Structure 1
Amino acid sequence: KATYTYNTDGTLKTVKDGRDNVTTFSNYKRGLPQKITYADNKYQQAVVNDLGLITSLTNEALTTTSYDYDAAGRLKSITYPTGDAVTYNNTTLVFEPVTTAEYGLPAGHWRQTVTTGNGVTKNYFDALWRKRVTLSQDTAVASTLRAALTQYDSDGRVTFQGYPQATVPSITDTPKGTTTVYDPLGRETSRTIDTELSPAQRTATNVYQSGFTTQTKDFNGNVSTSSFQAYDNPDKAVLAGL
């Protein structure tokens, strides 16, 4: 059993667990506690700026990681602690519009580049800012390039996730990967995977039956039926039988 206390402004003050260990939250700014003190008096401490973004975080070992943001409040760099036996590569993130067409995306799309040491990941977004192409590479080894493609339906649900491949795809390509189909209520009805086995494709299905039961067939053809208790809130159904 846990018990909670609150400050007069409604923010969480303390949490006491079943063994009477108390964690204290203090020095709030923009709704975030800038200090969390544990029962052994160890603590984590953050610095929150006027936009409510964490600019640094000091852990229980008193090492500090710093964060910087661009003018729109998007994370643009992570600076890791120094003084350790290991030297950590900092991370930079650049989010920018691209004036030329790439991978089937027209000019004007956006690209995010995340760099940590030699590791570089580039994410390419469509007009709805959905991630469509991801490229990852150790820039010191050209052969490590891996590309993955993502496709969506009109409701923004992922309908296809391509397996990583060594060649850079176009968003109109259909490489090997996982295809997902949904019903009009947004429930997953089938998932098909490409494999190196026979058959080359395998499909798992869900059939939503009356009486809050779901029949599921896995990729090997095994069938199970799950029943749920929903009462007056079907969105909060609880598994009652399998």
Structure 2
Amino acid sequence: MDLSDAALLLAAGLAAGTINAVAGGGSLITFPALIAVGLPPVPANVTNSVSVCPGYLASVAGSRADLPPRRSLATLVPTTVVGTIVGCLLLLATPARAFEVVVPFLVLGATAVLAFQDPLRALVGHPRDLSPRRRTVTVQAMVALGAVYGGYFGAALGVMLVAGLALVLDATLARVTAIKNLLSAVVGLTTVAVFSLFGPVNWAAVAVVAPATLVGGYVGARLVRRLPPVLLKMLIVAFGTVIGLYLLWRALR
């Protein structure tokens, strides 16, 4: 790795950490950057998953004031860990091509769910109208699906988690984003554990990208608390749409 490669990865890490905290999708900056410096796709994906984890942790620190009580989050952590492990094992054991074709539609679908959240709630019911058991099962299912996706690919994980959680939780978007940051951090820590043991991680690239995502993640999380809910929602929908279309173009070219 020469100086220009390191500079590219540093800039990508700063931008990705900020974007991940605000909306999600920062991996679509770091992943191509890792490809650009010469890493093959699977090592680049694995290295990217490890590199962005510090940014998720910084986002949690920056948004901790918006988190709900710990007891309400405790049951989501085991689901997130198990789902992430399943996703990691799928990445290491199966061809990626089929999933690459499906991923853009997942991202675009999640973005549409967030964009049309209110009409969809009118169809499926507002969270406060659901029974406690049904609400718990629905939230767990959303988190499990997001964790599997995060362990396998990870790009736009934040968009997918915000879209799913905003549909099934009776909470402000700032609180949903804070929960998203926490669950993304759990996904990140789990992928670090799995890929450190079994994945082809390029640790030189991690040493450059990870500290940059740490700084960007904290800055982005503080920015979220200052944004009006409508503007924050518009930003996440815009990011999700761009990311989904980019992934679709890349999968079909």
TM-score (norm 2): 0.16
Higher relative contact order (CA 8 A, sep 6+): 2
